[in-house]
Amino acid sequence: MTDLLYSETETDLRAAVRSLLSDHADPAALVAGAAESGSPYDAGLWKALASDVGAAGLLVPEELGGQGASHREAAVVLEELGRSVAPAPYLTSSVIATEVLLALGDASGDVTALLGDLAAGRRTAVAALPLSAADAPPAGDAGRVTGVADAVRADVFLVLRADGLYLLERSEVSVEPQTAFDLTRPLAAVTPGPAGTRVADRETGEAAVRRGLLAGAGLLASEQLGVAEWCLEETVRHTRERHQFNRPLGSFQALKHRMAQLWLEVVSARAAARAAADALATGSPDAAVAVAVAQAYCSRVAVHAAEECVQLHGGIGMTWEHPAHLYLKRAKADEIALGTPGRHKEVLAALVDLQAP
- Bridge-based pairing of strands 187-192 and 156-161 is unpaired
Q: Say if residues 167 and 104 touch (Cβ distance below 8 Å).
A: no
- Bridge-based pairing of strands 156-161 and 125-127 is parallel
CA distance 145 to 130: 7
pLDDT reported for residue 28: 64
Q: Say if residues 62 and 271 touch (Cβ distance below 8 Å).
A: no
Give the CATH fold of the 206-351 domain: Butyryl-CoA Dehydrogenase, subunit A; domain 3 (1.20.140)
pLDDT reported for residue 254: 83
Q: Is 336 helix (H, G, I), strand (E, B) or coil?
A: helix
pLDDT reported for residue 17: 96
- Bridge-based pairing of strands 197-200 and 164-169 is antiparallel
Torsion of CA 154, 160, 163, 165, to 10 degrees: 50
DSSP helix, strand, coil percent of the chain (3-state; round to 5): 60, 10, 30
Q: What are phi and psi of 157, to 5 degrees?
A: -120, 135
Q: Say if residues 232 and 226 touch (Cβ distance below 8 Å).
A: no
What's the residue count for the chain? 357
How buried is 284 (Cβ within 10 angstroms: 0-12 exposed, 13-18 middle, 19+ buried)?
middle
pLDDT reported for residue 81: 96
Task: pLDDT tens for the chain, 357 residues: list them.
Answer: 888 999 999 999 999 999 999 887 777 665 556 666 666 788 889 999 998 999 999 999 999 999 999 999 999 999 999 999 999 999 999 999 999 999 998 767 889 999 999 999 999 999 999 999 988 888 666 689 999 999 999 999 999 999 999 999 999 999 999 999 998 899 999 999 998 999 999 999 999 999 999 999 999 999 999 999 999 999 999 888 877 777 877 677 888 899 899 999 999 999 999 999 999 999 999 999 999 999 999 999 999 999 999 988 787 777 777 888 999 999 999 999 999 999 999 999 999 988 755
Per-domain boundaries in the chain: 206-351
pTM: 0.94
Looking from the CA of 196 toward its CB, the CA atoms found within 13 Å total 22
Q: Say if residues 97 and 335 touch (Cβ distance below 8 Å).
A: no
DSSP state, residue 58:
T
Work out whether the CA dihedral 279, 280, 284, 285 comes out positive or negative: positive
CA distance 136 to 142: 12
Q: Is 125 helix (H, G, I), strand (E, B) or coil?
A: strand
